[in-house]
Structures are given as C-alpha cells and as structure tokens.
Amino acid sequence: MHPEVRKIFKSITVPLLLSLLMIGVKIFEVLSHTDLGEYGVLPRQISGLKGILFIPFLHADWEHLFSNVVPLLVTGSMLFYFYKEMAVKVILLIYILSGFWLWLGGRENYHIGASNIVYGITAFLFLSGFIRKHTGLIAVSLLMVFYTAV
C-alpha cells in the first residue's frame, strides 16, 4: 500500500472508532428503550461532573448524532493527519477542558453531544492553520463551522 494511503487510513482510525462508539450507544438506547441523557453534564452539580466523561457519546436523536459524527470524522481525521504526534493529547485536552467549562458555566440543564469536541478540534485546526498559513486547514475548519451551524 502506498505510504500516503496508509497515512490517510491511520488518520481516520481514531475518529472512526469514536464515531462507531457513539453510534453503538445510540443503538443501545433505541433497542433498550433507554434515555441516557441523565448521564450528560449537569452544570454546577457535583453529580453532573460524571457527564464530562459521557457527554460526547450521548445524543438526543439520530439527527443530532450524525450532525456530530460527520464533522468529527472530517476534523478528527485532519487532526490525526497533520498533527499525528499530538492528536491524542489535543483531543483529551479538549474533551476534559470543554466539559469542565461547560459544567462550570453552562445553563442549568443536562448537556449531551460531541459538539464540544468537534468545535474544539475545529478551533485548533483553524488557529494552527492561521499560524502555519495553511489555507486548507482554515477552509475545512470554516466549512465544518457552517456545516454544524445549519
């Protein structure tokens, strides 16, 4: 296999596994007639801290799920393609910090979904693209913002 094709496949692996896990959780909810929304982030409640771990895997419905999965696949793959050495650290930092800030400052309601990770990766790609003068990263970042806003 050509090295560039191998690099592309490796870049897709982690975002694809995360997406499949999200889809698996939604399938479990549907088949078991369960709503796991109470495991989301509930701001300023000690019990709501557990949601920081679960928030990206919980979605209200299929539309909500796929509005997160598609940009996660695109931006996550780009993160692993261009920043292989630090991609896992970036995702973990975004995951924990965005969940904590949501817990600290979010409105008094359960919050679910992977938007915090999607927007975090998008912001990282945009800023690093701007700093590195990489117009492709900037363009894809802006496309993902428009995609998720619609």
Write the pLDDT tens digit of every residue in 14-59. Answer: 999 999 999 999 999 999 999 999 999 999 999 999 999 999 999 9
Environment class of 12 (CB within 10 Å of its CB; exposed 0-12, middle 13-18, buried 19+): middle
CA distance 18 to 94: 14
pLDDT higher than 70, residue 149:
no
What CA–CA distances, in Å, run from 114 to 4, 53, 134, 148?
A: 29, 11, 26, 11
CA distance 11 to 132: 20
Domains of the chain with bracketed CATH = 3-149 (1.20.1540)
Higher pLDDT, 104 or 142: 104
The reported pTM is 0.89
Which of 132, 41, 123 is closest to 90 using CA atoms? 123
Give residue-wise pLDDT tens across range 56-97. 999 999 999 999 999 999 999 999 999 999 999 999 999 999
